[in-house]
Amino acid sequence: ARQAYDELIKSLSYVPGYKDAEQLSEEMRELGTTHLLLNPIAHPRWDTFHPWAVDNLLLGHDFPERLGWLIVYLESGTAPKIDCEADFYFSTLSVSSNRESRSTCTSTKEVEDGYIIKQVWSEKDSAYVEVKEIKYTTVSGTVTTIQQEKDAEAGLRLTVIDAKTYEPLGTDYLWGDADWSNEYSEQSGDSRALPGSCSTATGMCSMYPSDGSLLSEAVSDLRWSFWRKLQEAENY
C-alpha cells in the first residue's frame, strides 16, 4: 500500500486532474499506516509510576499524532485499530547530592609599603638633607576556588508489542542526563600578593537547582530518542 501510494502521488504530476486521486490516496495511506498505542506502565519490580515524567516525555505532542506512516494514540478508544503497543516505564530517575570541591592557591610577595625619611649628610650642601627610602614588606594572600556540581539521570525501557500476538517486536533502553555546575572564588589575606600568581573564577555562589527541576531536564534529554524509536515502529 505504501509503494502504491508513492506511485500514485508520482503519477499525479502527469495526470493532475485525475478525479479519484484524493480518495485513492487516502485509502492507500490508511492501508499502509501502522497504528500504535502508547502504554505508560509502572516499574514492574518497584511498582513506581511517575505521571510528571510521562507528561514531560509527551510534552508538545497532540494525540492522535501522525509521524509518517505511523499514527500514535494515547487512548485506545480514539483508534480505529491497534497494530502494536508501546509499553514504557522509567527504570531510573536519580539525582546526585549537592557536591562541592575546593582548591586553594596561596601567594607570597614583597611589595612596597610606603617609605621612611632619613637624614643623610650631603657633602654638596654641607648639611643633613631628607631622603625618602621606599619601605618593603612581605604579604601573602589566598584564593579559594569553589566548584559546585549536581547531576541527574533518567532511564527508560521501551518495548513495542504486537497487538495481536503480544509478542515483543523490539526493546530499547534510553537514557537522558542533566548536569549543573558553578564555579566562584573567595579571597583572603592581602590582595596585593595575588595578581600574576593565583587565578580567580569570575562567578559567584549560587543556589543548587532543585531535584525536581534537574530530573525534569534529564527526562527532556531523552525525549528526542524516545520519539525517534517510536517512529521506527512504522516498519513493524
Higher pLDDT, 15 or 62: 62
pTM: 0.77
- Whole-angstrom CA distances from 197 to 83, 101, 104, 141 are 68, 21, 12, 10
Q: So where are the chain's domains?
A: 1-32, 33-235
Nearest CA among 181, 184, 182, 187 for reference residue 105: 187
Express each pLDDT in 142-152 by its tens digit: 999 999 999 99
CB-based contact 169:158 (threshold 8 Å): no
Q: 42: pLDDT confidence band, cut at 50, 70 and 90?
A: very high
Listed ranges 67-71, 156-160, 193-197; the one with the highest mean pLDDT: 156-160
120 sits in which H/E element: strand 99-122
Nearest residue to 143 via CA among 204, 190, 206:
190
pLDDT at 182: 97
